[in-house]
């Protein structure tokens, strides 16, 4: 009887180990698809006003290539992208920190962009944080009431979200003037406000120091 018991125990343990290994492999495969530090940031063109688009290549481009508006805007900039949605409660905790850092550096050669995926997820089924996706507020008026002044880019079809694998929010990407990712962050938790602010500010200072010397506009 004892032998049969241990046989069954060994069999169950083997099955559970196999399931765990499969789950770990699946998660590893998913993680391997994420963008990593040193990767080239995907290009994008996102609308910020009706009929008006912001291009990443206006500010940051791979080495050896000119910026999109090289004649009127020849200077490479570092770029920060923060993907968010109005239904995302952790995003609302991160935004005040980002806004504070933005105010400190908005006149430097670094561009801050909030990438709004609210509309891209509006047709999702079910609820999020007790709200139906279809009933969540639009980003512009919502953020204005919160005192957020960072530029907003509308990723209404989720194109940039998919390129950046930014389904989990908030998702932060920092890149240098050559579209190389240098700082990444996923999620936001209570108690890490100061740490996040300090780490981001230090990274910005480093990137600004490494940018090539500014050129005069050729207007």
pLDDT of residue 176 exceeding 80, the answer is yes
Q: For residues 12 and 81, what is the distance between their CA atoms, to the nearest angstrom?
A: 47
| Separation CA 111–CA 56 (nearest Å) | 10
pLDDT of 86 above 80: yes
pLDDT at 215: 86
What pTM was computed for the model? Answer: 0.84
Closest to 173 (Cα-Cα) out of 62, 45, 43: 43
Tens digit of each residue's pLDDT (9 = 90 or more) over 117-151: 999 999 999 999 888 999 999 999 999 999 999 99
Is there a contact between 59 and 77 (Cβ–Cβ < 8 Å)?
A: yes
Phi, psi of 47 (to 5 degrees): -80, 135
pLDDT exceeds 80 at position 11:
no
DSSP bridge pairs for 130: none
């Amino acid at each position: 009887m004892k032998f049969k018991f241990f046989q069954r125990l060994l069999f169950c343990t083997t099955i559970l180990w196999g399931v765990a290994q499969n789950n770990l492999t699946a998660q590893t495969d998913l993680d391997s698809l994420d963008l990593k530090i040193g990767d080239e940031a995907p290009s994008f063109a996102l609308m910020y006003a009706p009929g008006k688009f912001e291009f990443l290549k206006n500010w940051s481009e791979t080495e050896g290539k000119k910026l999109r508006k090289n004649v009127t805007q020849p200077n490479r900039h570092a770029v920060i992208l923060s993907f968010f949605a109005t239904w995302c409660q952790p995003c609302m905790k991160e935004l005040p920190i980002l806004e504070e850092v933005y105010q400190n550096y908005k006149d430097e050669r670094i561009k801050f962009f909030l990438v709004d995926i609210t509309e891209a997820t509006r047709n999702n089924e079910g609820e999020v944080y007790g709200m139906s996706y279809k009933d969540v507020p639009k980003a512009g008026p919502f953020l204005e009431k919160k005192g957020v002044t960072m530029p907003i880019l509308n990723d209404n079809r989720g194109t940039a979200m998919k390129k950046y694998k930014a389904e989990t929010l908030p998702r932060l990407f920092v890149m240098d003037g050559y579209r190389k990712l240098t700082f990444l962050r996923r999620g936001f938790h209570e108690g890490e406000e100061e740490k996040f602010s300090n780490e981001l500010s230090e990274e910005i200072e480093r990137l600004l120091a490494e940018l090539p010397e500014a050129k005069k506009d050729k207007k």
